[in-house]
């Protein structure tokens, strides 16, 4: 890891919140991946919002905007959680792309059904990532605060996935 990477990863402060430094680092790394995934999903929703076409344009245009507005709040909360653990949050597209498990997509030529199916798959993937990560942060790192935070995010993605499913029904 380069000196610059280390400076972006760790802060030179003592954080005494009852979680071992190595455990805080492991939690921060998991949160960085989640932050990156949320950014990929956010950009995807902006893309879909701008490019959806068809008879349901107005409804889906507004729906995609509602979802990316929700993600914007999640993104800020995740970054602040990373900072509260004593680490710097990634903040560049390059970092997000290298950390993310979700993949970018194009505009699908405005095909609303393909957009919705892809969006549903991403929400379901996020739910699975969050389910795994909330178990890890508690069982391996003894971080009940982050576990609670991740459970809340998971519930939000469950609701968002339900809304997408309703559009596909």
> Residue 143: pLDDT above 60?
yes
Q: Mind listing the pLDDT tens digit for each residue in 71-97?
A: 999 999 999 999 999 999 999 999 999
Phi-psi region of 19 (alpha: psi -120 to 50; beta: other; left: phi over 0): beta
Please measure the distance between the N-terminal and C-terminal CA atoms of the chain and give it in whole angstroms: 48
Distances from the Cα of 127 to the Cα of 21, 121, 133, 166, 168, angstroms = 27, 10, 10, 17, 19
- For the domain made up of 3-168, the CATH class stated in words is mainly alpha
Q: Please report the pLDDT score of residue 20 as a whole number.
A: 83
Per-domain boundaries in the chain: 3-168
Please indicate, yes or no, whether the overall pTM of this predicted structure exceeds 0.85.
yes
> Residue 5: pLDDT above 50?
no
């Amino acid at each position: 890891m380069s000196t610059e990477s280390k400076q972006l990863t760790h802060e030179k402060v003592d954080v005494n919140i009852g979680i071992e430094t190595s455990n805080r680092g492991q939690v921060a790394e998991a949160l960085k991946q989640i932050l990156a995934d949320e950014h990929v999903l956010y950009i995807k929703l902006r893309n879909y919002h701008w490019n959806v076409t068809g008879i349901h344009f107005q409804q889906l245009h507004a729906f995609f905007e509602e979802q990316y507005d929700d993600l914007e709040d999640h993104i800020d909360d995740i970054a602040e959680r990373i900072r509260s653990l004593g680490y710097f949050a990634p903040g560049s597209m390059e970092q997000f792309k290298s950390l993310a498990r979700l993949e970018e997509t194009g505009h699908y030529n405005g095909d609303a059904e393909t957009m919705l199916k892809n969006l549903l798959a991403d929400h379901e993937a996020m739910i699975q990532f969050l389910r795994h990560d909330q178990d890890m942060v508690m069982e391996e790192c003894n971080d009940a605060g982050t576990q609670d935070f991740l459970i809340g995010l998971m519930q939000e993605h469950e609701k968002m996935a339900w809304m997408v499913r309703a559009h596909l029904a």
